A and B are shown apart, each in its own frame.
Chain A
Amino acid sequence: MGGLTSNSLAIDLAGLKLRSPTLNASGVLGISAPLLKRVYDLGVGAVVTKSLGPMSRTGHINPTVAEVEGGLLNAMGLPNPGVEGFMEELRELKWDGVPVVASFFASTIEEFQTSAKALCGAGADALELNLSCPNVGGESGMCAADAISVERVTSAVKKVANAPVIVKLSPNVTDIAGIAMAAERGGADAITAVNTLKAMAIDVNFRCPILANVTGGLSGPAIKSVALRCVWEIAEAVKVPIVGCGGVSNWRDAVEYLLAGASAVEIGTAVMYHGFEVYGSVNEGVARYLRENGFGSVKEVVGLAHRK
């Protein structure tokens, strides 16, 4: 429960009252209630589920991951039990009082709305729209590259959701600020930036791509500077709060995101390097930073680096 004795860590994210500004990134440990409870017990403000689709999917065959310098490539292919198949886990989490951000994806407006209703109905505290998985081809992947689609999907989900809607964006676009503005126009309550960077790895012995899906998404320290720049540009363009995501491995990374304009950060790949404990140690470090620099709350540092 690192740092949680200090209430300086508490934040308000689009109306969501969180005890700390850390969350797990979607796709990391988010598939079972007991694993997410273990993450919550380490101090995160809320947990984020694996992205749930309208139907169950088994995802791609292995290798679905490849370690590269400074990070990790993955092309899991959105394996998930479907929104309905996850209901029991969601209820278990809510029963235990864990704030849950339900990540979900779909390929039609109707499916987005049906899923949003079902997830809100089961008690999701917020929704995270995954419009940006780079690993599922034409089916339901990169709608985040198109401002008009982002606005349409966001506003359709907003119409039926009775919980805050967070739109997760892709860095694989020319103008992420433009996409963020489209999400805001659609009524997004917050924006998560960013999903993984499209990338690949080749094995020299076998002389072939390592990932069965050929390409995948890069995460980890290697993408931090890119993701930080995305958060910066989005912060200059929209008013809604931002959740920073990409390569956060320690408190310093987290504080950089806060200063760039994020109100919270999601942490994923760092679990591979530092274990579950990374959540507690980031919170502790952020609390210490606030204390040592005379700040009373996370809110006071959000976007500070933008001062002219």
Chain B
Amino acid sequence: MKAVKVEHVVQETPDITTIYFPRVDEARPGQYYMVWLPGVDEIPMSLSTIGDPSSVSVRVVGDATRALSQLKKGDKIGLRGPLGNGYTIKGKHPFLVGGGTGIASLTPLAEEMAAKDIKLTFLIGARSRDQLLFNERLSKLLGAGLVVSTDDGSEGFHGYASNYACDILSKGGFDHVYICGPELMAVKIWVDADKLNIPVQASLERLCKCALGLCGSCAIGPYRVCRDGPVFDSVKLREVASDFGKRRMDASSRMIRVDH
């Protein structure tokens, strides 16, 4: 457990906040920290910036995320990690699709790809223009390589990111797909990419308690999202197809439906 002081906080959208802190370890895109707020909770957060400073980006969904989003410069947080496998850079023409806060974990990947002169296309999707995370940061990085969809049509493609992703994929030219976002979006894009025989890496989310690969709370099929993931390739996604986009375990490890 390392304790770090928050360097600064940026309100990205009405409900997404990025918390910057000094780099403590080498990390790869797609890896996560268990972020500890004493007295509140400890939750898994993907890195949304890798480097110094590093960051996590959080959407308010409950007590822990609210407390995280209310942090101020100088506040201390505890970090356990970086954990998980992260993305592996593959392909000459990768296509990245991020939905909502899923944009966070793909952004450092896009930055690393761009630094390696890999010509990528990154589709970011959100409910509306003011919900788009890192629009400006990615637009500066990728220029025309950044495409946008909003559910309400306030910017870019009018409709779900999964539908737009399908259009873009079918036009051809991509040899690898990276997905992070709502699971129903992810599963749809995976199915489309699979039909076109394009390999996929998708970052999945399950309830992580120990994050050490022991407790099993994050199980999906025979895998543990905390240790075997969070990034799953096409082969593993096929193995967990009866769960992916369909069912997950709640806090008591009871199977419930995936509903977003």
The residues of A that contact B215 with a CB separation of less than 8 Å are 27-28, 31, 64-65, 74, 76
Q: Does A22 count as interface, using CB distance less than 8 angstroms?
A: no
**CB proximity to A under 8 Å, residues B214-244:** 214-217, 219, 221-222, 224
Chain B CB within 8 A of A272 CB: yes
Residues on B with C-beta less than 8 A from A74 are: 210, 214-215
Q: Contacts A85-B254, A203-B1 given: A63-B42 contact, CB under 8 Å?
A: yes
- For chain B residues 61-90, which have a beta carbon within 8 Å of chain A? 76, 78
Contact B252 A62 (CB under 8 A): no
The residue of chain A having its C-beta at the shortest distance from the C-beta of B3 within the complex is A205
Question: B43, B211, B214 — which one has the most chain A CB atoms within 10 A of its CB?
Answer: B214
B41 on the A face (CB < 8 A): yes
With a cutoff of 8 Å between Cβ atoms, the chain B residues found around residue A206 in the complex are 3, 38, 76, 78
Residues of chain B within 8 A (CB-CB) of A29 are 214, 216, 224
A-B contact count (CB 8 A): 110
Residues of chain B within 8 A of A66, CB atoms compared: 1
Q: Which interface class (under 10, 10 to 19, 20 to 34, 35 or more) fits A?
A: 35 or more
> Contact at A35–B38, with CB atoms within 8 Å?
no
A272 to B224, CA, bound (A): 12
Q: Is A6 an interface residue (CB 8 A)?
A: no
In the bound complex, do residue A208 and residue B1 qualify as a contact, i.e. CB atoms below 8 Å apart?
no
Cα distance A61–B251 in the bound complex, in angstroms = 10
Asked if A285 is an interface residue, CB under 8 A from chain B, the answer is no
* A174 lies within 8 A of chain B by Cβ: no
The closest CB in chain B to the CB of A269 belongs to B214
Q: Interface-forming stretch among A50-58, A104-112, A146-154, A190-198?
A: A50-58
B156 CB within 8 Å of chain A: no
A3 at the interface (CB under 8 A from B): no
* 20 A–B pairs (Cβ distance < 8 Å), ordered by A: A29-B216, A31-B217, A31-B249, A50-B216, A58-B252, A59-B252, A62-B41, A64-B210, A64-B215, A65-B214, A67-B212, A79-B251, A80-B253, A81-B249, A85-B254, A203-B3, A205-B78, A206-B3, A208-B39, A271-B214
